[in-house]
A = this chain, B = another copy of it.
Amino acid sequence: MSQEADEIDVEGEGVSAIYTVDGAVREDVLANIHAAIEAGDAEPIIELTRDLHESETADLLEALRDDERQAFVRLSGADFDFTVLTEVDEAIRVDIVDGMEAEQVAEGVRDLDSDDAVFILEDLGNEAREEILAQIPFQERIRLRRSLDYPEETAGRRMQTEFIAVPPFWTVGQAIDYIRETDDLPDRFSEIFTIEPTFKLAGMLPLDKLIKAKRDIRVEDIHDTNAHPIPALMDQEEAAQIFEQYDLLSAPVLDENDRLVGVLTIDDVVDVIQAEADEDIRLLAGVGDEELSDSVRDIARSRVGWLLVNLATAIFASLIIGLFDATIEQMVALAVLMPIVASMGGNAGTQTMTVAVRALATKDLDINNARRIIRKEMLVGLFNGLVFAVIIGLVAAVWFGLPSLGLVIGIAMIINMLFAAGAGILIPMALDKWGADPAIASGVFVTTVTDVIGFFAFLGLAAWWYGI
């Protein structure tokens, strides 16, 4: 490829040539795109993205300013690869699709595997989606609608409806010839399926087994009849756990009548695993499913809920402090020290809770080991309570020159660390038992417990000890 004047120079020509060593998009590449957009010059953009992977073009798109993205896509014209849209933030995807004619979107998604097409269509408004679907030929429209009819976050919504299926009685040679001669294959596949005339799944044959077998062997003699089929209505997180447990590369998806309707592939499952881990992290911190590209208003709104709950519990904790205002007035050292007890309990409880939430998510914590784990956590709480009771007791005694204050704060610390351990393990387990996601509200409950117990134990003990 010769270097032309209007070409955006990406040295090395390797696929990762648009990135700096830190993994950010190179500023000079972006500057060239800015210039091309400014000048309305399509050539450099088409030239640059031609050799890029869809995820690289997606990174470019995300690095552009909000007002440049539609121009970038418009300039790319018919060369724009719609798979790029599956790799960008939802807000950006919706914004770009909204800026296009329904006909153009229909044209673009037709080239995609069904799972990618569904991924793009599912975020759109009902009306926009229907308008686009109306422009797609009947056969393909039926397929897409089948996926879209399954609820969000199910295997049916995530599956690819393109797959290779042959009758079980075919020979290996027939199957291979069929694959060689058929044009309408999935982009990538790592297995073929065997189905009965009723479309019922019979088995699955990975390509490595197919290729190793002699041509005259029957497929049904070597196919795997225990292919870990996934019901289309299964939650995607559950499906991902099956992939992880059995190290699957793909799995057949079956409808209510055990008919093969699609295939779930590991690359989609990797996205699900990543998304679910992300969700746990966000839920634990009280952040909704906001994305970096969301507006200030959307982000602020998504975080206000959890902060409101936190405000309520903080006020509740303050009411506890208010019970002891006379005590604090007499001995202001209590006000100085009380946040330490609450804070240590909150942190210890959060540690236990985090371990519990993750263990529940990975199904490592269940009925068989629950008692053992609870006992263990309580012992850890007791042990760390003793350690920090001694430390903070000495600090308080020396700081305020009052040994009895050290004793009071030490005992309060042990009590709060024990409650922290108990709340940290029991609250997520209870939420899980009642069918709630243990990550979502554990944090509020746990820190409410440790704040309330922390303040109450410390101030209450002090009030009783000093008789004020």
Contact = CB atoms under 8 A, between A and B. Distances in A.
Interface of A: 15, 20, 22-25, 27, 30, 53, 55-56, 62-63, 176, 179-180, 185, 188-190, 206-208, 210-214, 226, 228, 243-247, 249, 266-267, 269-271, 273-274, 277-278, 280-282, 284-287, 290, 292, 296-297, 299-300, 303-304, 306-307, 310-311, 314-315, 317-318, 321-322, 325, 328-329, 332-333, 335-340, 342-344, 347-348, 350-351, 353-355, 358-359, 362-369, 373, 376, 379-380, 383-384, 387-388, 391-392, 395, 451, 455
B296 A383 contact: yes
Given A285-B354, A307-B347, 4 more contacts: A290-B355, A296-B383, A303-B380, A314-B344
A318 B409 CA distance: 14
B311 A391 contact: yes
Contacts of A306: 347, 351
A22 B366 contact: yes
A311 B287 CA distance: 26
Given A296-B379, A358-B278, A368-B63, A315 B395 contact: yes
A27 B206 CA distance: 35
A303 B384 contact: yes
Contacts of A358: 278, 281-282
Given A210-B211, A277-B281, A347-B286, A369 B63 contact: yes
B328 A388 contact: no
A367 B23 CA distance: 10
A196 to B, nearest CB: 19
Given A53-B245, A303-B348, A339 B339 contact: yes
A349 B398 CA distance: 33
A339 B321 contact: yes
A247 B273 contact: no
Contacts of A347: 286, 306-307, 310
B355 A340 contact: no
Give 4 closest A-B pairs by Cβ, nearest first. A277-B277, A24-B366, A285-B354, A335-B335
Nearest to A348: B307
A368 to B, nearest CB: 4
A342 B339 contact: yes
A84 to B, nearest CB: 13
A31 B304 CA distance: 49
A310 B278 contact: no
Contact of A15 (B185, B228, B282, B284): B228
Contacts of A278: 277, 358
A23 B318 contact: no
A211 B206 contact: no
Contact of A270 (B270, B383, B392): B270
Nearest to A60: B368
Nearest to A454: B339
Contact of A384 (B300, B353, B388): B300
B267 A365 contact: no
A336 B321 contact: yes
A339 B317 contact: yes
A282 B354 contact: yes
Given A365-B292, A395-B315, A310 B354 contact: no
A69 to B, nearest CB: 13
Nearest to A379: B296
A306 B351 CA distance: 10
Contacts of A15: 226, 228
Given A246-B55, A451-B339, A376 B310 contact: no
Contact of A274 (B214, B273, B282, B329): B273
Residue of A55, A282, A340 with highest tally of chain B CB at under 10 A: A340
Nearest to A299: B380
Given A180-B212, A212-B185, A290-B355, A270 B281 contact: no
A388 B190 contact: no
B310 A344 contact: yes
A318 B340 contact: yes
Contacts of A342: 339
Contact of A367 (B24, B282, B307, B380): B24
A159 to B, nearest CB: 16
Contacts of A62: 364, 369
